Each structure stands twice: as structure tokens, then as C-alpha cells.
Amino acid sequence: MAEQPQREQWGSRLGFLMAAIGSAIGLGNIWRFPAVTYEHGGGAFLVPYLLALLTAGIPLLILEYTIGRKYRSSPPGALRQLARPAEAIGWWQVAICFVVATYYAAILAWAIRYTGFSFTQAWGDDPEGFLNNEFLNLNETPGEVSTFVPGVAWPLIAVWVLTLVILGLGIRRGIERANIVFIPLLVAFFLVLVVRALTLDGASLGLDALFSPDWGKLTDGGVWVAAYGQIFFSLSVGFGIMITYASYLHRKSDLTGSAMVAAFANSSFEILAGVAVFATLGFMAMDAGVGVSQVSSSGVGLAFVAFPAIISEMPMGAFFGVLFFVSLVIAGLTSLISIVQVIVAAVQDRTGLRRVPAVLSVGGAVSVVSVLLFANDSGLYFLDVSDRFINQYGIALAGLVLLITVSWGLRLLPALQRNADATSSIGLGVWWRICLGVITPVVLTWMMVDSLIGELDENYEGYSTSFLLWGGWSVAVGALLVGVLLTLLSRRGSRPRSSERGSETERTH
């Protein structure tokens, strides 16, 4: 690793918390949590969800905060100081962030365009046809590229320019200040959305559908897997973001208290999003004279098909639509910033580049790939399979490997616990080591096996096997291989820094 200039630090604990919360609150909170809750027992789902938060979410946050603050480096550098082979996990996480950043920005570009579409309700009477045919110009054959889509390209370029400007300003002047503005603004917008949704006819129908408990679901193992999966994917753990953000903390920062604040803030926003989404779906169901199950959806279908249809029917639809899509942009932007920061920090730590050159080099590479892959007529297909496979077999698997390495291979949980306890307001007990050493690895392994069985039973979304191989599996496996390759390249001609030699001495005593 190259010699580094003095590392930046957050200006305040509030600034760090806002950035951590901004990273956690993303598109998944708005369009994934409500659907997962509805499909897995409604109000009863909150029981495994809360247990997953306490046994996996918060312990994982504390672990990543501790590693980042203690070793004061991006994932490759921090994990290298744990053990040299562990550096490969860090570069794997950097490669995962590269993949996620390319398609995450594309969704924000769509949301920007739909903010404008909301004023005139440009989607007309057929939101799905408008999305696929007029806006995305979707090719009938998944993976086949025949035309460029300027209507996606220019807002995508705008997203990247804004993201890179914020990152170029640095930790305090850029990321911290942006999140201190964006997060309160996001909460304010969503509170307005909730109030508006609750005043719609049929809102109670939607809330009953969301929160009415089906206690029998608690005996279904798939419900528990879904709860842990939601916590894992919504808290930005597993792909190096929180290690990176924590590396800019003061050495005496409170870790456990910060993790709990960030985790509960994220979960509170998820519930708020659930109320807004299902109260609105209740209106749509009543207006159409059908059940909520017939209008509920998630992901792209919820944001860009179901909600436009609702906006066309509801009073003050344009106002509601603008607020909703602007909220999507803000939530996604704070997450995108954190994802790209992982790559920037890794490049800085490895090369010694100053911030602006590092941001420009990283941003140039990621944005070019992003525009080439997702501003064409197969962009939606690429996004769908990339997101599926990098989440299931990238983020979750990297998190599992990290946990096994730290808890079982290196047996470092007691030492990391002492480090966290030394400056934290809430001490960690044996529960923390049990959660990270036993409960979470077992659940993540179960998730992997369950997901693989599903992949082998039938092709995801009916895509052809060839498309899934090169558009999905190759992305997930490629991220791992790139991580290994970057590890080999980073070691060539490099010598351990003094901090690494010190950590090795610490482990031997």
C-alpha cells in the first residue's frame, strides 16, 4: 500500500450518523420492505424482522464500524491488517460496489425523468407500456442491444456529475454536508407523502393488508430467511461501506450507540415507507374494485408502473408524484455516494492519489460503464439480472466469508469487542460474539442454499440460461475473480506499512 496523507475525519458524530443513515436508507426501503412484509405474514413478519435486526443487523454494523475505525482504511487495507489473505475479501467488496454503482445510478436517472413526467402524467393510460416501449425502448430479446436511449443517457450523466462533485469535495465538505441536508429533506418529504396517503379513500384497506398478522407464517422457514435478508440488504453491510465510513471516525467515537441509532433509524424509515406505499395501494385497490393483492408489487414495477397508475387516478396526483420520485432520487443518491466512496477510498489507499484525481479516475470508469450498459434498449434486463446475482451471490456471500474469516478463522471477535467497548456507551456482551460467530453465519448459509435451490429449480424470471450465465452468474463470479486479481496486483512490489506491522505484532502477543 502507498504512503497516505493524513486521513480525513467526519466533522461531528451527527455528520457520520447522517451519512451512515443515508447509506442505509435507499431504494430497497421504499420498494422492497413493504412487499416483503406483505408477502411474509404482515404484522407477524415484524417479529422475525426485529429479531434479525438485533441478532444480525446491529452486530454486523458494530463489527464493520470497529474494523474501519481500528485500522483506518478502506476494506482492502483494513482487512489486510487483520490478515494478509483477508485483503482479497476487501477487493472483492470493492468490485461488488463497482457493479452496484453502475446500475443503481440508472434507477436514479429513471426517477429524475419520472419526476418530470409526473407534471403531465406522460405515461397516459398504460404506464407499463410507456415504461417499456416509449421510455426504455425495451428490446424484445433480453441481452440483445440494438439502439442507444438518449432519454436515459442524459439524466444518467447528470446523476454521475452530481455524485462526483459531492465526492470530490471530500468527507466533511462533500459527503457530510450533503447528507445533513438530504436526510432531513427526505424524511420531511416522506412525512408529507404519508399524510397525503393516509387521507386517501381506501388507505385503511391497504394498511390492514400490510399489518394484519398471519401468525401461522412464523412456522415457515422462508419467512425467517426473508427477514434476515431484508435486514442484511437494507443496512449496507457486507460490501465495505460501513468499514469505509468508519475509517474516518475519531478514535474515541462511540460505536455501539452509533450502530443502534443508524439501525433503528433505517428500520423506522422502512415502516414509514410501508405505510405510505400500502395506504396508496389501498386507494388504488378501492378505486379499481379489486383486492390489495391484485395491485401490490415491488421494485421497478411498484415505482414505475403501479405508482404512475395511482398518480393518474388520485386527487393532486402531480404533487404526489413529484414528491415520490424526488424522494426516490434523494434516497438513492445518498446510497450511491456511499457505494462509490468505497471504490474511491480503496484507490486512494492503494495509490496515494489525492482525492480529486481519485474521484475523477474512479468516477470516469464507473460512469462510462454505467452509461454503456444501461442507456440502451436492454438496460432493464441487464439491471434486473445484475441486481439479482450480485445481491444474492456477491454481497451476501462476501459478508458470510468475512464473518467466517474474522470469527472462526482468525478468532478476532474478543479483541474487536474490547476495542469497541473501550469507547462505546453500551458494552457488548457474549451475545455479540454468539450472533456473529453462530447465528448470522448459519442464517446466511441457509440463505445461500435456499437461493441456489431456487435458481436450479427454474430460471430467474424465465430468462434464457445463456443470458443468465453471462449477464448474471458471470457478474457475481467476475466480482470475486477481480477481487483476487486486484489483491495479487496490490501485493506486487508492496511492503507492509508500519500500522500493518504493528497489527501483526499485536496479534502475536
Q: Is residue 6 part of a domain?
A: no
- Cell 445463456: give the residue: 466
Task: Using DSSP, state whether 148 is helix, strand or coil.
Answer: strand
Q: Is residue 7 part of a domain?
A: no
Among residues 403, 315, 314, the alpha carbon closest in space to that of 67 is found at 403
100, 391, 490 from 90: Cα distances, Å: 15, 16, 12
Integer Cα distance of 416 and 396 in angstroms: 22
- In single-letter form, the type of residue at position 468 comes to L
Residue 300: other Cβ atoms inside 10 A: 19
Q: What is the pTM of this model?
A: 0.92
Q: How confident is the model at residue 494 (pLDDT cuts 50, 70, 90)?
A: low
Mean pLDDT over 16-21 rounds to 95
7 against 103, higher pLDDT: 103
Residue 507: predicted pLDDT: 43
How many separate domains does the chain show? 1
Task: Using DSSP, state whether 215 is helix, strand or coil.
Answer: helix
478 against 493, higher pLDDT: 478
- Look at the chain and count its residues: 509
Q: Is residue 62 part of a domain?
A: yes
495 against 34, higher pLDDT: 34
Q: Residue 133 contacts by C-beta under 8 Å, 6 or more apart in sequence?
A: none
Q: Which domain holds residue 17?
A: 13-491
Integer Cα distance of 38 and 230 in angstroms: 13
pLDDT of 331 strictly over 60:
yes
Mean pLDDT of the chain: 90
Tell me the backbone φ, ψ of residue 148, rounded to 5 degrees. Answer: -90, 145
The 3-class secondary structure across 17-42, one letter per residue, is HHHHHHHHCCHHHHHCHHHHHHHCCH
Which among 153-162, 382-391, 423-432 has the top mean pLDDT? 153-162
CB 189 within 8 A of CB 323: yes
pLDDT of 316 strictly over 90:
no
Three-point CA angle 504, 7, 185, nearest 5°: 125
CATH (domain of 41): 1.20.1740.10
Q: Is residue 8 part of a domain?
A: no
Three-point CA angle 311, 313, 317, nearest 5°: 40
pLDDT of 456 strictly over 50:
yes
- 3-state helix vs strand vs coil in the chain, percent to 5: 80, 0, 20
Integer Cα distance of 76 and 499 in angstroms: 14
Q: Is residue 460 part of a domain?
A: yes
Residue 463: other Cβ atoms inside 10 A: 18
pLDDT in tens, 337-377: 999 999 999 999 999 999 999 999 999 999 999 999 999 99
Q: Is residue 127 part of a domain?
A: yes
Residue 492: predicted pLDDT: 67
Kindly tell me the burial class for residue 506, based on how many C-beta atoms sit within 10 Å of its own C-beta (0-12, 13-18, 19 or more).
Answer: exposed
Q: Residue 33 contacts by C-beta under 8 Å, 6 or more apart in sequence?
A: 230, 234, 270, 271, 273, 274
Q: Is residue 356 part of a domain?
A: yes
- Cell 443470458: give the residue: 467
pLDDT of 499 strictly over 60:
no
Residue 509: predicted pLDDT: 36
Q: Is residue 5 part of a domain?
A: no
pLDDT of 508 strictly over 50:
no
Among residues 367, 18, 11, the alpha carbon closest in space to that of 165 is found at 367
Q: Between the CA atoms of 61, 168, 29 and 286, what dihedral angle is there, to the nearest 10 degrees?
A: 170
Kindly tell me the burial class for residue 5, based on how many C-beta atoms sit within 10 Å of its own C-beta (0-12, 13-18, 19 or more).
Answer: exposed
54, 254, 336, 480, 500 from 261: Cα distances, Å: 12, 11, 21, 32, 31
CB 30 within 8 A of CB 331: yes
